[in-house]
């Protein structure tokens, strides 16, 4: 159950970012195909943030401390860009256009994830 909630949180956060920014696109023939794409991309994004992000954060810990945690925004943006690259490689209809869009998208994803985790404490 926790896994399903975790995927749902990622889908909602990625969907919100795609709705807010023109540089984050989810394409598909119809709405249901876009939702399936978001579910798959949500799983990819969740796996990346679970396995890759902690390693990157560990190695960049001195920079994170020097920037008072602001470098975590850069790391989150890079994880979103990595998700976009993997989705492009798997021929999914998800793409992030650039670094600035990724930073803005990662901020929205963080806010939506925090709000959903407040509503659903087990998330």
| CA-wise closest residue to 14 among 79, 74, 70 | 79
Residues 112 and 9: their CA atoms lie apart, in Å, by 8
Distances (CA, A) of 56 to 12, 39, 49: 25, 25, 10
Give the domain extent around 90. Answer: 2-119
Residues 73 and 99: their CA atoms lie apart, in Å, by 11
What does each of the 123 residues of the chain score in pLDDT, given as a tens digit? 677 888 888 888 898 899 999 999 998 888 889 899 999 999 999 899 889 999 999 999 999 999 998 999 999 999 999 999 999 999 898 999 999 999 999 999 888 888 887 887 665
Tokens read off for 38:
């978001």
The residue behind tokens 């999914």 is: 92
The total number of structural domains that make up the chain: 1
């Amino acid at each position: 159950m926790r896994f399903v909630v975790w995927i749902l949180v990622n889908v909602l956060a990625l969907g919100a970012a795609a709705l807010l920014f023109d540089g984050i696109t989810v394409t598909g023939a119809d709405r249901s195909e876009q939702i399936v794409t978001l579910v798959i991309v949500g799983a990819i994004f969740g796996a990346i943030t679970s396995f890759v992000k902690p390693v990157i954060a560990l190695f960049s810990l001195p920079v994170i401390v020097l920037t008072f945690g602001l470098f975590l925004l850069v790391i989150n943006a890079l994880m979103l860009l990595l998700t976009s690259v993997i989705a492009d490689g798997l021929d999914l209809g998800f793409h992030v256009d650039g670094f600035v869009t990724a930073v803005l998208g990662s901020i929205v994803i963080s806010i939506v994830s925090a709000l959903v985790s407040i509503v659903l404490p087990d998330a």
